[in-house]
Structure formats: structure tokens, C-alpha cells
Amino acid sequence: MKKSQESSRTCIQNRIVNLYKPQGPTSFSMVNQIKKMLGVKKAGHIGTLDPMAEGILPICLGQSTRIIQFLSPLSKYYQCTMELGSATDTQDATGKVVSTGNTSGVTNDQIKEVFQRFTGKQKQVPPMYSAKKNNGIPLYKLARNGITIERKPIPVHFFSIEFVSRSKNRVNFKVHCSTGTYIRTLCHDIGQEFGCGAHMSGLVRSRVGIFDLESSVKLDALKEATVSKPDVFFSVEKVLAFLPEIRIKDEFVKQIINGRALPKSALKALPIKFEPGMSLRVLNGSDSILAIVEPLVNQDQFDQMESCEIAFKLQRVLVN
């Protein structure tokens, strides 16, 4: 029994679990439950889900929390249900109805057409009932006290909005969007376009990076999965495979682990194209990720550098 417990602990150490969050609990509470269940001291989630939303909530365990900053910017996929005919103060089904309207003239073709108009780069005003902060105070705390403040529109990107089905005033659709996008605000804004009001009545996050619904695991099945289904725990290497890689010479491994930048002479292999602003994973000979770095130059400038010049600055060390 003891050997089995040690084996399961080794399996989950510094890995990422693709948790399925149900409706109701906050993302923060799900992280706390994971920490208690798995006996890990440190954990953090990728992308917050509202309490009424459900779906995938990847949670990084132990040292894998160091990669959250590189996963949070990934685009998100959702399955949404929008209720036409009523707007709420929270823009979703948990709020109070603040206006209603006639939906009899809204056709499916009109819905598809407005989806097309909202596709692409947009400006979105964050809702008052959100975790965004004003002078360090979450907006939802102000909203609960009846305080509404002016919010600046933020740039968002809807890569696709796909009509799925409609039953009376209930519209089902799929969204692929940039991080930081509020789907309930999209529903609200569409209701404004039609003049009848709308709110979000259901939301499922279906994909972030390599995490999808098929690879997700529910909380009540997670403890057993640590022994019977270790594949629900993802390695840092697998999760960060979308980043271009560089390989360094063995004699520079200790240097980067100690937090030092990489000179041109440290490199064994490089991607064909790179430029400042990119994040690249640094691998050693055994394919383990040591760190994430950012180029200081592009590939053409790199070729002109002296071997001793610093070519890549450190973003994050991933090993001790």
C-alpha cells in the first residue's frame, strides 16, 4: 500500500491535471480541493472559470506552476448557450433581469450574420461582475455594493463564432477566442445589437492548448486516477510542446539552471525562425525542459554575433 502511494505521488509531482470543473464552485476552490486531495503544497489554475461555467480547468501542481504564465495567454474554446429576450445585471443567468424585449423578429440568419460581425478583432467592455480590479478592488465587490464605475474597452479577438442550434429563444453556439474575453459580455452585446436583450445561460470551456474535454477528469474520479489512469497527469514537456525549442551544450546546463543568460556559443540547435518577444523552451540531451528563454535578436542578427555575446535572456527556470 505504501509503495503504491509513493508511486502515485511520483506520478503527479510537478505535473498538470486537466480537471473538469462543474457548475457552482469557484476556480480557486477547485485548486484548494486538489491540493488537499493530492497532498501538494503548491497548485495554480490556467484561466479562471466563473462559478456558473463548467468545463476544463487545467491545474498545475508543484513546480509546474512556473509555466502558468506561458499557458495563460493561449486562446480558449467554448460551447455557449445564449438566452435572447432578457438582459441581466451580471450578463448571465445568475443575475437579476434588468430589461426584456421582443424576439419574434430575430431569425437564425440574422443571428449568423451578427456572429460574423463580431468575428475578428473587437473592443469589449469588461463586465462589472468580474474579477478585474480597480485600485486593487475586484469589480464584482463594487457591483455587489451597488457601485458602477466606467471601464475602458479592452482589445479581444474572436477567431470564430459558430451557430450550432436554436430552440425558441435559446441559441447554442461555439466560440474560439483570445484570452481575457468574456463570453457573457458577447451575449449581452449581441442582445444590444438586436434590441431585445440577451444573457448567457450556459457555458462549457472545451479546449485550451492540448487540454480538451476528452482528456479531462472530474474531481471525484481524480484520486482513483492517480493510480489507475496516470495519463490524466500531463508532463511539462508535453504541455509546452507548442513552443519552439533550442538545445544547448551540456557545459551550459548548470549555467542556465543558475539563472544566467545564454551566449551564442551555448547553442547546439535552433529553430529556423525566431525574434525578440518569442518564448522558446530550452532542452538538454535527455529532452527535459530546463528553462524558457526569449531571443534578444532574430536569426539573421544571430548569425552576425560574436560567440561570447548574449543571444537569449532567461524568462523562467523550470528545474532546480
Angle (nearest 5°) at CA 50 between 238 and 235 = 10
Q: What are phi and psi of 173, to 5 degrees?
A: -150, 165
Q: Are 135 and 129 in contact (CB under 8 A)?
A: no
Give the strands of the sheet with 262-263, arranged side by side: 262-263, 310-317, 289-295, 280-283, 245-248, 267-269
Name, in order, each residue with C-beta under 8 angstroms of 272's C-beta and a sequence gap of 6 or more.
Answer: 299
Q: Side-chain half-sphere of 10: how many Cα atoms within 13 Å?
A: 6
CB 46 within 8 A of CB 236: no
Active site residues: 50
Asked if 261 contacts 295 with a C-beta cutoff of 8 angstroms, the reply is no
Amino acid at site 72:
S
Instruction: Please report, for residues 107, 231, 265, the alpha-carbon distance to residue 235 in angstroms, rounded to integers and kept in the order given.
Output: 47, 9, 29
